[in-house]
Structure 1
Amino acid sequence: MSERTRVISALGLVMILTWGSTFYLLAVLSGPIQDETGWSAGEVTLGISLGLLVSGLAASRIGSLIQLEGGRRVLAAGTLLIAAGLALLGLAHSLTVYLIAWGILGLGMAAALYDAAFSTLGRLYGREARSAITALTLWGGFASTVCWPISAFLVENVGWRGTCFAYAALHLTVTLPLCWYALPAGAPPVPAPSVSATVAPDRSPGRFDLRFWCIACAGSALAMLASLWSVHLITILTAKGYALAAAVGLGTLIGPAQVGARVLEMLGRGRHHPIWTMLVSTSLVLIGFVGLQWEFPAGAALVAYGAGNGLWSIARGALPLAVFAPEDYARIMGRLARPALIASALAPLLGAMLIDAYGPHGLLGLLALGALVPLGAALVLAVELSRRARSPALH
């Protein structure tokens, strides 16, 4: 096994287990937590919102650390923080301790989910990291598929607290050693950049760089849309007349669509500039929401949404590599992650307010309108990149 394959495979397993035991945890544990503690659904959900908010606030600092010393120690520390947060979560008998546990989990998420992993790959391979990022998203796409059944089995046999302890032990015995032994020690030298076939590499973004803000705007909007949709998908589909079982079945189409789109992207072997991935991604998300709003077959609309969401995971890692200088990649990724994670944190509260004010049908219409924002940002970015390609003095 080559070093590159070993690194990607190790990070892939880490992504499955870290995503599955943090971001996707409450999908299975929320009900059992409410039943035992008597806390409301809103109080339980507040935990993941707090975790995402803390993650967003820490993201820029995490990116700077990876830029300085590589990702080995940062990712290892992230898995330790996730293990500690899960252990405290299992011990939480008050809402205060529960929220503190999610704060610790948020720090771990900042240091051990996609943004940290992408930054690590960029630090290792420079502009050649695009294929590694694509491969890593294929691994990550199976996080819920793998961990939801594991979580359900554990809850049934050892309870939700035992599930938290089991995941904590898994991080100490599996993900921590993987990060420590599979990733290179120290800060590797940034490889010599290879020029993109479409747009030449450019300096790192300044404070008012339009390209940076287009990517940040699209990422924040898509993060908020995804968070709103994941929380209210079943509510919207049942309001449109689908039975609960049918709504759940339709929701399961999103995961395979995400993975399928990533496979197609990988088969392209990076022959196209990632701005095209971004344009296709944002267009498919818009088609998905508009399709549901206009009564297109729900299955087709959800496949379009899932494919777009899957492609965005690649575009948000590959675009900064193609547009900016690779030696600042980890720091740029940290800056881009902050607004997206904060938007995800605020989305559940915003969604509850919107659904109370406008109902499920109104929320779907607002989601369709909101999907215009990332597509607009992608179009502006495409025009800006084309303009810079024609004017070398702008580089």
Structure 2
Amino acid sequence: MQSADIVEEAPRSEWREGWPLVLTAALGCAFAASHAVTMGAFVGPLTGEFGWSRGEVTAGISFGALGSIFLVPALGPIVDKIGARKIGLLGPPAYAAGLLLISLSGPSIYGWYAAWIAMAVLSLFISPLVWTMAVASRFERSRGLALAFVLAGMSVGAAIFPFAAATLIENFGWRVAYRVNALAALVVVLPLALAFLRDARDLRAAQTDQPLEPAAVVPGLSLREAFRTRTFWQILAMLALVAGVYNAIYQHFQPMMTDAGMTAIEAAAIAGIIGPVSFAARLLTGHLLDRFSPPLVAASAFAIPILSCLLLIGFDGDPVIAGIAIACCALASGAEIDMIAYLGARYFGMRNYGAIYGFIFAGHTLGWALFPPLVGVAFDRSGSYDAALMIMAVLLVVAVALAASIRKPPMRDADP
């Protein structure tokens, strides 16, 4: 066989053997975000039943965001040590338990908060860290596209779960909606995880009938060695900036639209562009990462939402401009999460993938959580989003510069 044929066969072999894992991981990621993407459907029923304010209800999800910042980095080294399978098999039952606890909340708001604090811990076992670690270890030549399909599961879930939750709430009540979600996680994800959730070390151990090899013999950097590289901090800062700007625009987009004279329904319809565009962007980004320089792909993707900021400055209510602006923003949202998994594995190897992913994800989440309230404060003080949008455009320029200046990635199949 010619060398070119060998190169062509490698991706085919990866997909032939690994597609059940990719499908399982995509479904796992879809369910991992279901409690967050359905929150809007529960606000009305909870405020109506218990008299809680909207701020009190939605504060529950903030505990999950804070938990991600502190707990995902702690989970990473555990996944590195014992593998994705042992953690992932706990995921659906733990997640279902968290949903059941939420369904038992009320009438005290503190019980609601306690349930969400428990969910912040229990949802770790079904987090994207687990699923992407398994897939990244099994795919090399098609790693970008494989991870894109996995994380696209979150986009599909964001389109399906809110409608399903609203339908269940309308017919059976909010408690039943949470319990059906819990049951679905067990029935759909757990059997597939039992059958297909195996990372590369699991396969090697099964083939040789030997215990899992120690992490030391897996190519890659230690967490401390990664900390000492400029590349690690460039990636972390770049993704924190992009995530912060994206979430700030997303959270404030509909208020911007209604301020300009649109109805709430018109604004929501335009905001709905995010789902399909981010889904397509994930797959396109994954395809490009497998074929072109990762810094070039990242810089190109993160330059596009600069246009979003500029178009929304002085926005006058034109729906075409609004659609272009949110679509450009969605292109970046479809790339940023994928970059955590791909760049972590590509630049630092699989030896401590979980630990490195956890710290980069924490930085990403910190930016994601901080920017929206800061933009809100800027609006409250000035009565306009224009100054905040200009600052965010400048921050995206910084993110693009960070991406473009990342060093060339190491050769494939080599220890970084």
Q: 2:36 maps to what in 1?
A: 23
Q: 1:193 maps to what in 2?
A: none
Greater C-alpha radius of gyration: 2
| Aligned-pair CA distance for 1:273 | 1.9
- 1:331-350 alignment, distance < 5 Å: 331-347=355-371, 349-350=373-374
Q: 1:316 maps to what in 2?
A: 340
Query: Cα gap change, 1:99/1:55 in structure 2, threshold over 3 Å: closer, same or farther?
Result: same
Deviates more, 1:320-329 or 1:158-167: 320-329
Secondary structure class of the residue paired with 1:323: helix
| Aligned-pair CA distance for 1:233 | 2.0
The 8 Å contact of residues 77 and 108 in structure 1, kept in 2 or not, is answered as no
2:235 to 185, 209, 215: 215
Q: 1:197 maps to what in 2?
A: none
The 8 Å contact of residues 222 and 371 in structure 1, kept in 2 or not, is answered as no
2:88 to 59, 64, 75: 75
Query: Cα gap change, 1:154/1:146 in structure 2, threshold over 3 Å: closer, same or farther?
Result: same
The 8 Å contact of residues 105 and 111 in structure 2, kept in 1 or not, is answered as yes
Structure 1 gaps of 5+ residues are 191-200, 390-394
Residue 250 (1) aligns with residue 270 (2): yes
The 8 Å contact of residues 24 and 192 in structure 2, kept in 1 or not, is answered as yes
Distance in 2 separating the partners of 1:318 and 1:373: 23
Q: 1:89 maps to what in 2?
A: 102
| Aligned-pair CA distance for 1:272 | 0.5
Q: 1:264 maps to what in 2?
A: 284
Secondary structure class of the residue paired with 1:142: helix
Q: 1:273 maps to what in 2?
A: 293
Distance in 2 separating the partners of 1:384 and 1:251: 33
Q: 1:183 maps to what in 2?
A: 197
Deviates more, 1:154-163 or 1:348-357: 348-357
Distance in 1 separating the partners of 2:283 and 2:132: 18
- 1:280-299 alignment, distance < 5 Å: 280-293=300-313, 295=315, 297-299=321-323
Q: 1:304 maps to what in 2?
A: 328
Kindly provide the amino acid, as one letter, of the partner of residue 174 in structure 1. V
Distance in 2 separating the partners of 1:328 and 1:301: 38
Query: Cα gap change, 1:102/1:385 in structure 2, threshold over 3 Å: closer, same or farther?
Result: same
Distance in 2 separating the partners of 1:40 and 1:353: 20
Query: Cα gap change, 1:28/1:347 in structure 2, threshold over 3 Å: closer, same or farther?
Result: farther
Question: Identity, % of aligned pairs?
Answer: 23
Residue 35 (1) aligns with residue 48 (2): yes
Kindly provide the amino acid, as one letter, of the partner of residue 395 in structure 2. V
The 8 Å contact of residues 147 and 286 in structure 2, kept in 1 or not, is answered as no
Distance in 1 separating the partners of 2:291 and 2:44: 46
Kindly provide the amino acid, as one letter, of the partner of residue 242 in structure 2. L
**TM-score for both structures, normalised by structure 1:** 0.86
Q: How many residues align?
A: 377
Query: Cα gap change, 1:185/1:264 in structure 2, threshold over 3 Å: closer, same or farther?
Result: closer
Q: 1:13 maps to what in 2?
A: 27
The 8 Å contact of residues 275 and 319 in structure 1, kept in 2 or not, is answered as no
Deviates more, 1:291-300 or 1:278-287: 291-300
Deviates more, 1:201-210 or 1:26-35: 201-210
Q: Deviations over 1:36-89 (max 9, x none)?
A: 111111111111111110122111122112211221222232332321111111
Deviates more, 1:218-227 or 1:137-146: 218-227
Query: Cα gap change, 1:380/1:352 in structure 2, threshold over 3 Å: closer, same or farther?
Result: closer
Kindly provide the amino acid, as one letter, of the partner of residue 105 in structure 1. M
Q: 1:145 maps to what in 2?
A: 159
Query: Cα gap change, 1:219/1:18 in structure 2, threshold over 3 Å: closer, same or farther?
Result: same
Q: 1:63 maps to what in 2?
A: 76
Query: Cα gap change, 1:118/1:279 in structure 2, threshold over 3 Å: closer, same or farther?
Result: same
| Aligned-pair CA distance for 1:138 | 2.7
Distance in 2 separating the partners of 1:115 and 1:141: 16
Query: Cα gap change, 1:237/1:290 in structure 2, threshold over 3 Å: closer, same or farther?
Result: same
Kindly provide the amino acid, as one letter, of the partner of residue 77 in structure 1. L
The 8 Å contact of residues 102 and 112 in structure 2, kept in 1 or not, is answered as yes
Secondary structure class of the residue paired with 1:373: helix
Q: Give every structure 1 segment of 4 or more consecutive aligned residues whose post-TM-superposition deviation is greater than 6 Å.
A: none
Distance in 2 separating the partners of 1:368 and 1:339: 23
The 8 Å contact of residues 20 and 196 in structure 2, kept in 1 or not, is answered as yes
Distance in 1 separating the partners of 2:284 and 2:121: 33
1:132 to 146, 157, 175: 146
